Each structure stands twice: as structure tokens, then as C-alpha cells.
Amino acid sequence: MNETPDTPALTEATLHEAALAHLARYGATEAGLLRVLERRILRWRRTATGDAETLDRAAAAARLAARRIVAQLAAAGGVDDAAFAHARAARLNRSGRSRRAIAAHLAARGVAPEIAAASLPETAESELAAALILARRRRLGPFRTVPETAPGRELAALARAGFSRVIAEQALAMSPDAALALVLRVRRGDA
């Protein structure tokens, strides 16, 4: 039987190029970049033809190479979990996500809990602003265009989004002018 696979093996150089191409296009964490490279290896393994044992050894070697590549890129600063977490948390907060939702999102991206906690918005005003941004998008509370028909529905919507009862009640009780002023201040980056 043929000892070499019919499909060219993934080399460390091709994996490195794939990692750089991904980073040029997307922000990523170390865990996220490793998942991207591992999916590439799995796709290669599924489509590769040749001796199964040789292909399995090549895939195992490629997985080790992927870990080395991610470690090298992290050491060189090409992958920075803290910078990723800080930028993503700020963007999610400006789009109306609660601290809980942001923490869950960062955890799903492979950010360590201590890095995620340091990246979360810390002021109650930023949490209130995020609740107002969500309320504006869903036309709740101060941004409501028709009278509320189901009491508690708006409070429940904010609670499902991860906002505390105190923040949700504050957001829903604000005047339209004050709410809009805070939303615009956050969008400009003043808050």
C-alpha cells in the first residue's frame, strides 16, 4: 500500500499562512484561532486520500503545529486576548448588551474569566445606557410609540437580555429626552 498520502499534507507553513490570513480579516482570541486551525485540519483530514494511519499521524502533527503557531503569534502580539476582550466588550456595550451578556459572549470566544471581568464596563451609567440602547431598538419604555398593553412585558424583555431589575426599571422610567441624551452620549463615546 502507498506510504505517502495522495493529498498534500498540511505543513506548519501552510497553517501559519492560514492563521495570518484569518487574523488579517478577523479579530481573534488564542482559543478562537486554534479552533479555526483545527477546523482546517479536520476538513483536510476528511478530504485527504491515502493510507489512514499516515493521514492520522499527519493530522496529529498538524494539530501540534497549530498549537505552536498560536503560541508564537500570541508571544509576538498578533493575538491578544485582552485587547480583543476590551474592544469586543466596548462594542457590545454600545450595541445594547448587558454585562452578563458580554461576559457570556467573551466566555464563548475563549477569553479567560479574569480577562473578561477586567474588560466589562464598570459604571452603572454604562449599564443603564446599554439598557436604553436596547429599549430604543425595541421601542420600549421612553422610546415606546404606543401605550403599553401588557404590564411587565418590557421589564421582562430587559431581564431576558441580562439587565438587573434596578437597571431595567430605571431605563423604563426615564423621560424620552434624558434617555435619548444618554444614548447619544454613549454613542459618541463620552460615557
Q: Is 70 exceeded by the pLDDT of residue 87?
A: yes
Match 503545529 to its residue by C-alpha cell.
65
At what angle are helices 30-47 and 52-76 packed, to 10 degrees? 160
Name which residue leads in pLDDT, 143 or 188: 143
Give the per-residue pLDDT at 122: 83
Query: Is the distance from CB of 107 to CB of 76 less than 8 angstroms?
Result: no
Give the per-residue pLDDT at 1: 42
Determine the Cα–Cα distance for residues 151 and 8; give it in Å rounded to an integer.
64
Mean pLDDT of all residues in 162-186: 92
38 φ, ψ to 5°? Answer: -65, -35
Max CA distance (Å), the chain: 78
Determine the Cα–Cα distance for residues 71 and 159; give it in Å rounded to an integer.
39
Give the per-residue pLDDT at 175: 93
Determine the Cα–Cα distance for residues 8 and 49; give it in Å rounded to an integer.
9
Q: Which of 81, 132, 130 is nearest to 107 (CA)?
A: 81
Give residue-wise pLDDT tens across range 2-25: 455 456 778 999 999 999 999 999
C-alpha cell at 17: 499562512
- Binned at pLDDT 50, 70 and 90, residue 190 comes out as low
Query: Is the distance from CB of 141 to CB of 135 less than 8 angstroms?
Result: yes
Question: Is pTM, for the whole model, over 0.85?
Answer: no
Percentage of residues in the chain with pLDDT exceeding 70?
94
Give the per-residue pLDDT at 142: 92
Query: Is the distance from CB of 44 to CB of 62 less than 8 angstroms?
Result: yes
In DSSP notation, 43-111 reads HHHHH--S-HHHHHHHHHHHHHHHHHHHHHHHHHTSS-HHHHHHHHHHHHHHTT--HHHHHHHHHHTT-
Please provide the average confidence, as pLDDT, over all residues in the chain: 90
Name which residue leads in pLDDT, 97 or 50: 97
